Amino acid sequence: MSLIYSPTMMLTMSTLILSTLMALSSANWILLWAAMELNLLSFIPILLQTKSHQEVEGAVKYFLAQALGSALLLVSSTSMWMPFSSALNYLPLLLTTSLLLKLGSVPCHFWYPSVMASISWASCLILSTWQKLAPISILAFLLSQKNMLFIMFAAGLSALLGGLMGMNQSQLRTIMAYSSIGHIGWMLSLISILKPAASITYFTVYVALITPLFMYMNYFNIQHISHMNISSSWNLTLCLLMLMLLMSLGGLPPLTGFMPKFMAIILLMESTKILALLLILGSLMNLFFYLNIVITSMFLTPSLKIQFPMNNSVPTKSMTTLSILSLGLSPLIMM
């Protein structure tokens, strides 16, 4: 289901955007915490578009996880200014844990797949893109010797768990949730080796790939792997573009998704080869279940016979094609 446009929704979306920008530009912890709380409260109405039991369950899970993360963030950030804070070596780790919880990364990922499985594709898109911007930017800013190894540990486990848990799923929202956890691992790995610009580049390419993909899944109302070939029954071009987006998201060369992973591997091989190996293993598992979706879409009989209105959107197809085939821009992006 798409976002329901109304004055209330427009106000909520504006608050969501402004609260994230406020968090990114905050100069002290209290303002940062307040901005992230405002972001949380503005995202809840977006999750509750139809007020179905499934969306209410997802919104409650999201609120509880984010509230716990906010509490840890407030306690750890304010405690670091206390006179005895230098003796408490766990405070930087507690602060990092609070941001990983808000981000949905391992070891604090428990809420993320269940929330993604309960909300609409439009809400999934916001949760997978805009809602990650503030936590991952703050993590890049806070990196120090005390939490560097912890972030590396979280990055490696996120890549492995995202690939491993996604292999035995059939619901597409859950698959995309574990895929997102795997991509979070790649972004955190670049942060852990002091490459925040490369992490932002990876995040930008990731957003460019999943935005048209989630738009297609929302338009076709696809919920399950067996529904993927609904689209092929009426619009072959859109079906092929969506399948290529999936393969690009898995990092299959020579598609666009291969570029940020190749860049990350080059940078990681200079400092930590073990982490690079873990990320490659996780990426191979991700690519396995993406190819499983592609093969299912091409060879299995559609389980549903639904006719959708024909909408050959040239801008949408152009954006998708650019997202898939922009590998030639890689040297310019990596400079």
Give a yes or no: residue 59 inside a domain: yes
Tokens 């609120």 locate to 63
Give a yes or no: residue 1 inside a domain: no
Tokens 């191979």 locate to 284
Give a yes or no: residue 55 inside a domain: yes
Give a yes or no: residue 251 inside a domain: yes
Give a yes or no: residue 2 inside a domain: no
Give a yes or no: residue 27 inside a domain: yes
Measured between alpha carbons, how far is 276 from 269 in angstroms, rounded to an integer?
A: 7
Q: According to the model, what pLDDT value does residue 321 have? A: 61
Q: According to the model, what pLDDT value does residue 161 have? A: 93
Measured between alpha carbons, how far is 207 from 187 in angstroms, rounded to an integer?
A: 12
What is the tally of structural domains in the chain?
1
Q: According to the model, what pLDDT value does residue 51 have? A: 76
| Partners of 224 in the β-ladder | 171
Q: According to the model, what pLDDT value does residue 251 have? A: 87
Answer for the pair 163, 176: CB distance below 8 angstroms, yes or no. no
Encoded tokens for 280: 């490659």
Q: Left (φ > 0), alpha (ψ -120 to 50) or beta: where does 51 sit?
A: left
HEC-encoded secondary structure of the chain: CCCCCCHHHHHHHHHHHHHHHHHHCCCCHHHHHHHHHHHHHHHHHHHCCCCCHHHHHHHHHHHHHHHHHHHHHHHHHHHCCCCCHHHCCCHHHHHHHHHHHHHCCCCCCCCHHHHHCCCCHHHHHHHHCHHHHHHHHHHHHHCCCCCHHHHHHHHHHHHHHHHHHHCCCCEHHHHHHHHHHHHHHHHHHHHHCCCHHHHHHHHHHHHHHHHHHHHHHHHHCCCEHHHHHHHHHCCHHHHHHHHHHHHHHCCCCCCCCHHHHHHHHHHHHCCCHHHHHHHHHHHHHHHHHHHHHHHHHHHCCCCCCCCCCCCCCHHHHHHHHHHHHHHHHHHHHHC
| Cβ within 8 Å of residue 278, ≥6 positions away | 156, 159, 160
Give a yes or no: residue 228 inside a domain: yes
Tokens 């507690």 locate to 94
Give the sign of the dihedral formed by CA 21, CA 129, CA 75, CA 114: positive
Give a yes or no: residue 108 inside a domain: yes
Measured between alpha carbons, how far is 134 from 33 in angstroms, rounded to an integer?
A: 11
Q: Which domain holds residue 109?
A: 7-334
Measured between alpha carbons, how far is 21 from 41 in angstroms, rounded to an integer?
A: 15
**Mean pLDDT in each 10-residue stretch from start to end of the chain (335 residues)?**
69 92 89 93 89 89 95 87 64 89 92 93 93 92 82 94 88 92 94 90 92 85 73 63 85 86 92 91 91 77 48 53 55 49
Tokens 């070891």 locate to 107
